[in-house]
Structures are given as C-alpha cells and as structure tokens.
C-alpha cells in the first residue's frame, strides 16, 4: 500500500510552499460549519490535516473514514469548525492536494455530532416498515449489509409536484435485522434533517422520506413505507449538483451519494439525471462507494 501511495505522490506536482505528508487515518471528522474535514494521520508522515473545498482531490475523493491511507501535499495552517455550542474547533495543516486508498474501514462515530438539525414528528401509526418486494436490479439479497440510500428524486416533473416540495429520498435496509432510525439524519450539502423518532425499518425493506405528505399519494407509496419531514430536504436538492449523507444516531456516516458538479461523496460524481428521472442504485447487493453504483432511472420506483 505504501509503495502505491508513494507512486501517487510522485505524480503530484510540488509547489514552493507545500510539503509531502502521508499516513493512515485514525480520526476523520466532517466539519459542516465551514465545509472542511479534519484528519489525524499516523506514520510514516502523519499529523493533523484539514481537507477543504479548495483541495485538489485525486482518486477516491475526500477523506471518508478511519483506516484510509491518505497521501499528498499540505501547506498553510487551517481550521475545522466542528461544533458551534460549545464552540469546538480543530486545527491542522491545509491539504492542497491528496489521494487515498478509498474506504478501508467503516467510519468511526465522532465524539460529538455538533450538527444543527430540523426535527419532525412521526406520523400516526408509524412503526416497523414492512418489506415491499425487490427493487429493480436487486436479487432480493441483503448482502449489502446495512441501511443505504437507494434512490433519490430531485429533478421533479410537473406530474409529481414542484421543487423542492416534490423531492424524496428512498432508504433500503440491506441488513438482516430491523433498524431503529430514531436520531438518524439526512444531510444535503447545506442542512440536516432528522428522521422521525420511532421509525423502524425491517430487513429487506424500503422507506421513502418525502419533503411533504402529498408526495406519498402522488407516487402511491403505502403509508407504512413513507414519512414526511414537512420541509425541504436540506435546503432543497440541486439538479445540477448536490450530495446526500445518511448518518446514524451516533453521528457516523453510514452512506453518501453526490451527483453532477458535487464530488464530495465520490469523484467523479454520479451523472445528473434528466427531468422526471431518479438517481438509483443499480443493485442492492453490493456497494463500491463509487459513481458506478448509480444509474438514471427513467421511471422512479419509490418504496419498491
């Protein structure tokens, strides 16, 4: 692995003010308040580093999880605003360019989430969401092993409302156990939304998270498979480029996707979809954490 990363470093152009660094990540924290990522690296040339939106990022995208090998060039000191109250700031050296080994380990829960979220109430009758069959492209296997984002509808057509009210996100439980989604959040590139407390997602099942309640009827989604946050998802999903990150109750990133001009989840990002189409996983049996997992679905299939 070190030899491969060393070869990558040799390809990165040196600048007068930057110095090379590289090591395995022990801590990765997503600092949403100033759109940075704090990384603490071990040997051979470790330390505290800050990924910024200005970082020239090569293979596998920004830092995502502990266990990754990260290597590149760093320059001036920078900072990461992790929490507002109480104010928590991590300092390090700004990463000017980097490459990584990809997601080598599941993300570790941060010590505190620090996110500002919108809270919503569980609709009456909300409970464990039952399975509704198999989504196109899936064999019905739950080998993906966890809850993931399975479909995103952001390029809303006139038959299904308007933006941002008509947008929705579908989740799929690819594990073998029912998952309590209380305290879980979905974030676009700007804001967080909390999933309703008490929402339980059964194994092999789908849940559609809509911006408004009327979305359920316009797509004929069974009530047991639908929750509404009654506000835009994040600050509204951009057609030209945006991202979604699913976090569990501990604040750990469970899954993410980005499309169009936004490469925060993976680089290159998934292609933007046409008007009325959805961005969907091509299969529910594996996850490579790349744009290859995603396709444009001309006829969206929320809840199935």
pLDDT tens per residue, range 159-210: 998 899 999 999 999 999 999 998 899 999 888 888 988 899 999 999 999 9
Tokens of 257: 């996707």
Mean pLDDT of 293-301: 96
pLDDT score for 183: 87
Mean pLDDT of 151-164: 93
What residues does CATH 2.40.50 cover in the chain? 2-100
**What count of other Cβ atoms lies within 10 Å of the Cβ of residue 81?**
17
Mean pLDDT of 76-97: 87
What are 296's strand-pairing partners? 279
Rg for the chain, CA atoms, rounded: 20
Report the topology of domain 117-297: Immunoglobulin-like (2.60.40)
d(CA 51, CA 161): 38
pLDDT score for 103: 53
Q: Phi/psi of residue 37, each to 5°?
A: -135, 125
Is 274 buried (19+), middle (13-18) or exposed (0-12) by CB count in 10 A? exposed
DSSP assignments along the chain, one per residue = -HHHHHHHHHHSPP-SS-EEEEEEEEEEEEETTTTEEEEEEEEEE-EEEEE-TTSEE-TT-S--STT-EEEEEEEEEEEEEEETTTTEEEEEEEEEEEEE----SPPPPPS-----EE--PPPTT--EEPP----TT--S--TT-SEEEEEEE-S--GGG--TTTT-EEEEEE-SSS-EE-TT-EEE-SS-EEEPPTT-EE-TT-EEEEESSTHHHHHHT--GGGEEE-SS-STT---SSEEEEEEE-TTS-EEEEEEEET--SSSSSPBPPPPTT-EEEES-SS---SSGGGEEEESS--TT-
Whether the per-residue pLDDT at 110 is higher than 70: the answer is no
Buried b (16+ CB within 10 A) or exposed e, 168-191: bbbbbbbbeeebbbeebbbbbbeb
pLDDT tens by residue, 31-61: 878 889 888 888 888 889 999 988 998 877 8
Residues 6+ apart with CB under 8 A from 198: 122, 126, 127, 182
Q: How confident is the model at residue 230 (pLDDT cuts 50, 70, 90)?
A: confident
- Tell me how many degrees the CA angle 116-232-144 measures, rounded to the nearest 5: 80
**CATH of 2-100 among 2.40.128, 3.40.50, 2.60.120, 2.40.50:** 2.40.50
pLDDT tens by residue, 10-29: 444 434 468 999 998 877 78
What residues does CATH 2.60.40.1260 cover in the chain? 117-297
Residues 235 and 186: beta-carbon distance below 8 Å: no
């Amino acid at each position: 692995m070190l030899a491969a990363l060393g070869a990558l470093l040799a390809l990165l152009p040196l600048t007068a003010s930057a110095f090379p660094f590289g090591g395995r990540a022990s801590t990765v924290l997503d600092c949403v308040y100033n759109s940075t990522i704090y990384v603490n690296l071990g040997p051979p040339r470790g330390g505290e580093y800050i990924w910024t939106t200005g970082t020239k990022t090569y293979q596998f995208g920004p830092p995502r999880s502990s266990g990754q090998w990260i290597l590149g060039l760093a320059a001036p000191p920078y900072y990461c605003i992790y929490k507002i109250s109480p104010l928590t700031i991590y300092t390090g050296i700004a990463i000017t360019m980097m490459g990584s080994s990809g997601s080598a380990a599941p993300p570790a829960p941060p010590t505190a989430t620090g996110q500002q979220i919108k809270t919503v109430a569980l609709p009456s009758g909300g409970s464990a969401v039952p399975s509704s069959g198999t989504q196109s492209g899936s064999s019905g296997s739950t080998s993906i092993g966890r809850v993931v984002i399975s479909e995103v509808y952001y390029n809303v057509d006139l038959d299904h409302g308007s933006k941002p009210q008509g947008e929705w996100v579908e989740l799929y439980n690819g594990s073998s156990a029912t998952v309590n989604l209380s305290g879980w959040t979905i974030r676009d590139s700007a804001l967080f939304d909390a999933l309703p407390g008490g929402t339980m997602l059964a194994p092999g099942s789908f849940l559609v998270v809509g911006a408004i309640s009327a979305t359920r009827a316009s797509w004929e989604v069974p009530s047991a498979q639908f929750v509404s946050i009654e506000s835009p998802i994040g600050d509204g999903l951009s057609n030209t480029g945006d991202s979604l990150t699913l976090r569990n109750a501990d604040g750990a990133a469970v899954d993410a996707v980005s499309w169009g001009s936004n490469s925060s989840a993976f680089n290159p990002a998934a292609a933007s979809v046409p008007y009325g189409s959805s961005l969907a996983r091509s299969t529910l049996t594996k996850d490579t954490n790349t744009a290859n997992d995603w396709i444009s679905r001309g006829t969206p299939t929320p809840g199935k």
